[in-house]
């Protein structure tokens, strides 16, 4: 059975504060423990890396090599679980564990696995198409023979999911610096773009990262059955495509968002009728209630941790 933390209902908190709790979904709080599903997937990622070290030729049958993808069509589905280097295997495993402990308890194991399979599969297909397109434009054969694989597309999707569920969750970047989850997708795109110029080989990761972010946003925005509201999609302004970027970029991102919205999502537009998150004011109040519940829970956990040594000393 999945190890998870129960969602806490902010109704009691909202009522005590004298606010209207009607229609508010349960608040989302960070998980405390790594889930069994994530631990199992880590075994898959590490196992794939070990397999490549023992049988290097297996890379031809598990990673996307555009010149060999036909007839090896299955590689677009397996490449997302194959890490070619040790730092990639370790980084993907840690990202999966720490992101999954916050996401899986909210979505459930079935939806969590569905999301991973969907994002990895679509990212694999897009990586193949982009490589072929770059070859046609540049004529460089390296785009046809470079193996493409890795879990980074799905990790990018997790960052978008965290923006939706816990936008104000502070994620550690280094020993003294933290960044809120709502800005992490933009930060990763900027950092990866800069690294693509500094380290040319890293450009192979950029299309998959961007694809993972956009595909995951499309799915969460228009298609996922929201586990908190029970309705399809999330049309709130806090999760619009321009919200992934700083406000100063809205003049650029708004037209792009509207263009892709008309092209790809006209028939899948989530209903704004009777959807509690469609009202920006209500959505903002609901997020504030959730944040208060989160702060109270963290304060309570801290109090328990500080009281425990005192009781031990008295005994």
Q: Is residue 222 part of a domain?
A: yes
Q: Which domain holds residue 211?
A: 36-267
**Token reading at 251:** 């003049």
Tens-digit pLDDT profile for residues 194-253: 887 787 666 777 888 888 998 999 899 888 887 767 778 888 888 888 888 887 787 887
Phi/psi for 180 (5° steps) reads -70, 150
Residue showing tokens 């304060």: 299
Tell me, yes or no, if the pTM score tops 0.95.
Answer: no
Mean pLDDT calculated for residue range 44-68: 93
Q: Is residue 1 part of a domain?
A: no
Confidence of residue 172 (pLDDT cuts 50, 70, 90): confident
Alpha-carbon span 258 to 261, nearest angstrom: 5
Q: Is residue 200 part of a domain?
A: yes
Q: Is residue 64 part of a domain?
A: yes
Residue 102 is part of a domain; what is its CATH number? 1.20.1540.10
Contact 151/264 with Cβ under 8 angstroms?
no
* DSSP secondary structure, 122-163, as one string: HHHHHHHHHHHHHHHHH--THHHHS-B--SHHHHHHHHHHHH
Q: Exposed, middle or buried: residue 136 (CB in 10 Å: 0-12, 13-18, 19+)?
A: exposed
Residue showing tokens 């902010």: 10
Q: What's the number of domains the chain is made of?
A: 1
Higher pLDDT, 230 or 297: 230
Q: Is residue 57 part of a domain?
A: yes
Tens-digit pLDDT profile for residues 7-32: 444 433 443 444 444 444 555 655 56
Q: Is residue 293 part of a domain?
A: no
């Amino acid at each position: 059975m999945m190890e998870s933390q129960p969602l806490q209902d902010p109704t009691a908190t909202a009522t005590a504060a004298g606010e209207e709790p009607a229609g508010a979904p349960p608040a989302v709080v960070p998980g405390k423990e790594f889930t069994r599903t994530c631990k199992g997937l880590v075994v898959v990622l590490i196992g794939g890396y070990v397999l490549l070290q023992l049988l290097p030729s297996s890379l031809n049958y598990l990673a996307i090599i555009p010149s060999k993808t036909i007839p090896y069509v299955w590689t677009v589905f397996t490449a997302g679980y194959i890490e070619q280097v040790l730092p990639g295997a370790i980084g993907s495993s840690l990202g999966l564990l720490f992101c999954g402990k916050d996401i899986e308890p909210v979505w459930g194991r079935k939806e969590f696995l569905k999301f991973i399979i969907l994002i990895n599969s679509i990212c694999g297909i897009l990586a193949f198409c982009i490589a072929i397109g770059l070859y046609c434009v540049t004529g460089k054969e390296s785009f046809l023979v470079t193996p493409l694989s890795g879990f980074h597309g799905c990790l990018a999707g997790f960052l978008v999911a965290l923006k939706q569920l816990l936008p104000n969750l502070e994620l550690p970047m280094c020993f003294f610096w933290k960044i809120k989850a709502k800005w992490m997708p933009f930060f990763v795109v900027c950092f990866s773009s800069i690294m693509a110029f500094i380290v040319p080989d890293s450009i192979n990761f950029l299309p998959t990262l961007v694809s993972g972010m956009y595909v995951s946003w499309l799915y969460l925005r228009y298609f996922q059955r929201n586990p908190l509201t029970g309705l399809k999609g999330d049309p709130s302004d806090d999760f619009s495509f321009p919200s992934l970027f700083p406000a100063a970029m809205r003049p650029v991102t708004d037209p792009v968002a509207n263009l892709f919205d008309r092209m790809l999502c006209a028939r899948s537009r989530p209903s704004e009728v009777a959807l509690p998150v469609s009202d920006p004011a209500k959505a903002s109040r609901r997020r504030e209630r959730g944040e208060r519940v989160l702060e109270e829970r963290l304060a309570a956990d801290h109090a328990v941790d500080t009281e425990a040594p005192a009781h031990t000393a008295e005994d």
